[in-house]
DNA sequence: GATGAATGAGCATTCATTCAT
DNA sequence: TATGAATGAATGCTCATTCAT
């Protein structure tokens, strides 16, 4: 029926963070689902599609997950958990300076979205295909993460390091930079993941500190 | 059957820019499709869903569009066209200063995403449900728009107004701020659309000019 | 999934006649199947349902029966055998008087249907879910039983004790009284199984002897 | 898969009472379903079976009924309604004598079960495959009918025409005679439907009046 | 005897779409 | 333009059963 359809993601093979899910058929199912859900969406992927990609009968999936929805729910849960725990770990490593803390959070946020773009897309877009019940755990984790960043930003403001035109919009902009990575970025020699993280850290600091007045003197990339 | 699902958008009623499509059943179909595709996705919306929301029989839609895909294609085309022509118009009004030009582009980009969030989401997410053939016109327009912004930014850099750590990432960040608006923003008295545009203009300038050194002295919002 | 469904039987726990099947997993399977087949029918019961009720995996059943059909076949066979042998035993105890014989047959028929209602239902309704091959042994036994009753009735007619308006219909009515017991009867203090048997014996005699002429004088229950 | 299976019913073609359902595809579906549900049971009949017997695609059925369950529910409802209204009509024709009334009720009960055996079987056996919600209307009608018969019998007892050993069991026996008809009876020249009704009326009167004492003198059928 | 993963057919139902009216 | 009945493919899922362990 449908002619050649565009893939949402540039990146090729979908991978799950190594220790987030144990090896085995269950993990294989999750990785295949990740690939397909990221590129065609949850509703654009059939159980038969998944089974075919796994070289399994559709019915075999039901020994591992009670429904297609539960596969998505698990991906969304894992994605949120990996993200939240990475943020927490970054914060613990960062010391007490809110600028350092913010940089650490942005770095981790960027690295995760650049390293696991499929998971990022599924977590951010396909969560809306979940019932309220199945989405709830992930949404709770998400709210925690937002609160974490908010707290750091607010401390930075209180200590005179940051100055925001509007808190909600600025926080959203900070998040958006990361969230959109899967749609344009592909790791390359010119811009490996770490370099992208450096750029995003720099951009984040620009967002949070006021701009210079007038024209710019110093050297910076022009190309 | 399926339990309550989250809606992707905060905003309520989906609307199409006034003169983008003439009044009539055809426009009604597009607006209903806009609402449903934005909230449930193209694949998550059936022709029956659309017909029910229109108080029509499914077969009646085929008097107006040759297929469900063509409804989406039309929405995507209209969305891209409205966006591109608004950018062009803004640029014409902005004079020759690249800073003014950039501000005008960001303002329009922001206002459109805040005013037509459903259209923005469909244009940005559901385009991937289109065949290459049907998506092509929109993708061409999209490329033009990107080139437009790129040109302005590059002129700003050349004239010493802007300084970017990485052109691709910074352009992406500029775009991302707007693209993510439908996911968090709702017009309100505290932050009406124009004020949001002001904020995004300010944030964009921060991204494009270097940050101040050291801590911040001047007054800024704290809340 | 499926909403609450009515149960065919009033009675609670399904039991098999004590010595009809030796204790063990095989018997447990038969009793669980009896319960489920009686209430939801053979086609309305899945092997998974049976396994779940047994706290076993579906595959475990196949160590005891070659197929789901064979479980039903065994229930049907046991039910018929218990019934037929009880009829034979009753006849042996009853002496030579066809009235006594008929009463004995009816009593046993009634007691069995009242005591093992699940088995009665499965034997009478679910036999139609069996292949001709698997149903054959039971049908043979059934024919024997019918012949037995027929003989007794015919002797009663020949000896002037009974008078039937139509042999087929009357035999069917005799049988029907018992067969329908599981659908309405539940043992109680007011009407224990033995009392029900007395009633059915009385009713059977009424069917087989002609009615009184005119109105009724003597005392009888009214309520 | 399944080998030759027995049919529950002797009778051939399933028919619905003429004016119970208007002509058209909807009626054709109901009649085919009646045939299949009666012989193989609701759970033993697939929508594909029904569609094949109708020379239709399975999906076409869903233009007429929202689900397979609703087809059964409609059959069960129609069956109950036809039965109840026939009983009411019979009673209106019968005059004030409880004996006449009872005879009229039995006659109608018998004629319906003999004329529409498929419907009788579906109504009596397959109602248990319905959810409580879908079964409710039919069960309500059923209770009314029972109350009707009960009232007639009680008046007969009060006026000294009837004498019952046990009201519940006797009512059940009266009903059972009719309910079991589809399992053994086929209209024939020797015993057409009307003759069967005569026999059942006679048997019913025997059940409700006491038996003669001692052996039988008068002439009666012997065969 | 029992498990758990797997099979392959089949389930009720929904899909986008067509067509005669 | 719109309807209502129909199609044929596809949907998510369950079925009875097998088999290696």
User: For residue C211, what pLDDT band results from cuts at 50, 70 and 90?
Assistant: low
Q: Is the pLDDT of residue D208 over 70?
A: yes
Average pLDDT over residues A52-78: 97
- Can you give the pLDDT at residue B9? 87
Min mean pLDDT across A189-198, B158-167, C3-12, D26-35 is at C3-12
- Greater confidence (D211 vs B204) lies with B204
Min mean pLDDT across A70-84, C32-46, D204-218 is at D204-218
- Can you give the pLDDT at residue B81? 95
Per-residue pLDDT of chain B (223 residues; tens, 9 = 90+): 345 677 888 768 999 999 889 999 999 999 999 999 999 999 999 999 999 999 999 999 999 999 999 999 999 999 999 999 999 999 999 989 999 999 999 999 999 999 999 999 999 999 999 999 999 999 999 999 999 999 999 999 999 999 999 999 999 999 999 999 999 999 999 999 999 999 999 999 999 986 544 444 444 444 3
Q: Nearest CA to A157 among A102, A213, A119?
A: A102
Average pLDDT over residues C128-149: 93
Average pLDDT, chain C: 91
A179 vs B180: CB contact, 8 Å cut-off?
A: yes
C180 vs D180: CB contact, 8 Å cut-off?
A: yes
- Greater confidence (C162 vs B1) lies with C162
Domains of chain D are 68-208 (1.10.357.10)
Whole-number percent of chain D with pLDDT over 90: 87
Q: What is the 3-state secondary structure (H, E, C) of chain B?
A: CCCCECCCCCCCCCCCCCCCCCCCHHHHHHHHHHHHHHHHCCCCCCHHHHHHHHCCCHHHHHHCCCCHHHHHHHHHHHHHHHHHHHHHHHHHHCCCCHHHHHHHHHHHHHHHHHHCHHHHHHHHHHHHHCEHHHHHHHHHHHHHHHHHHHHHHHHHHHCCCCCCCCHHHHHHHHHHHHHCHHHHCCCCCCCCHHHHHHHHHHHHHHHHCCECCCCCCCCCECC
- Can you give the pLDDT at residue B210? 64
User: For residue D144, what pLDDT band results from cuts at 50, 70 and 90?
Assistant: very high
Chain B partners (3+ C-beta pairs within 8 A): A
Average pLDDT, chain D: 91
Please tell me which residue of chain C has the smallest CA distance to D215: C161
Average pLDDT over residues D203-210: 90
Q: Is the pLDDT of residue C220 over 70?
A: no
Q: CA D46 → C1' E11, Å?
A: 8
User: For residue C214, what pLDDT band results from cuts at 50, 70 and 90?
Assistant: very low
How crowded is residue D124: how many other Cβ atoms within 10 Å of its Cβ?
Answer: 20
What digits encode the pLDDT tens for the residues C176-203? 999 999 999 999 999 999 999 999 999 9
User: For residue C64, what pLDDT band results from cuts at 50, 70 and 90?
Assistant: very high
Are the C-beta atoms of B205 and B103 separated by less than 8 Å?
yes
Q: Is C211 on the interface with D (CB under 8 A)?
A: yes
Regarding chains A and B, contact by 3 or more CB pairs under 8 A is answered as yes
**What 3-state DSSP class applies to C193?**
helix
- Can you give the pLDDT at residue D8? 85
- Can you give the pLDDT at residue B3? 55
D6 vs C205: CB contact, 8 Å cut-off?
A: no
Average pLDDT over residues C3-27: 86
What digits encode the pLDDT tens for the residues D92-103? 999 999 999 999
Q: Is B114 on the interface with A (CB under 8 A)?
A: no
Q: Chains A, B: CB contacts under 8 A, how many?
A: 210
User: For residue A211, what pLDDT band results from cuts at 50, 70 and 90?
Assistant: low
How crowded is residue B51: how many other Cβ atoms within 10 Å of its Cβ?
Answer: 17
C-facing residues of D in 118-157 (CB < 8 A) are 125, 127-133, 135, 157
Whole-number percent of chain D with pLDDT over 70: 91
| Angle formed by the axes of helices A68-93 and A117-125, nearest 10° | 110
């Amino acid at each position: 029926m449908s002619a050649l359809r565009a893939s949402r993601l540039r990146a090729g093979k979908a991978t799950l963070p190594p220790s987030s899910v144990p090896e085995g058929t269950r993990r294989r199912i999750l990785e295949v689902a990740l690939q397909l859900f990221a590129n065609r969406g949850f509703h654009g992927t059939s159980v038969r599609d998944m089974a075919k990609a796994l070289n399994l009968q559709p019915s075999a999936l039901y020994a591992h997950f009670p429904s297609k929805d539960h596969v998505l729910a698990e991906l969304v849960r894992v994605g949120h958990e990996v993200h939240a725990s990475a943020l927490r770990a970054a914060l613990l490593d960062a010391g007490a300076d809110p600028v350092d803390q913010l940089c650490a959070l942005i770095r981790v946020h960027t690295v995760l979205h650049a390293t696991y773009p499929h998971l990022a897309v599924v977590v951010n877009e396909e969560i809306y295909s979940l019932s309220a019940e199945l989405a709830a755990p992930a949404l709770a984790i998400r709210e925690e993460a937002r609160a974490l960043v908010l707290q750091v930003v607010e401390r930075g403001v209180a200590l005179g390091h940051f100055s925001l035109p509007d808190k909600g919009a600025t926080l959203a902009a900070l998040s958006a930079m990361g969230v959109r990575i899967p749609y344009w970025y592909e790791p390359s020699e010119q811009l490996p993941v770490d370099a992208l993280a450096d750029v995003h850290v720099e951009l984040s600091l620009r967002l949070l500190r006021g701009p210079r007045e007038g024209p710019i003197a110093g050297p910076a990339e022009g190309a």
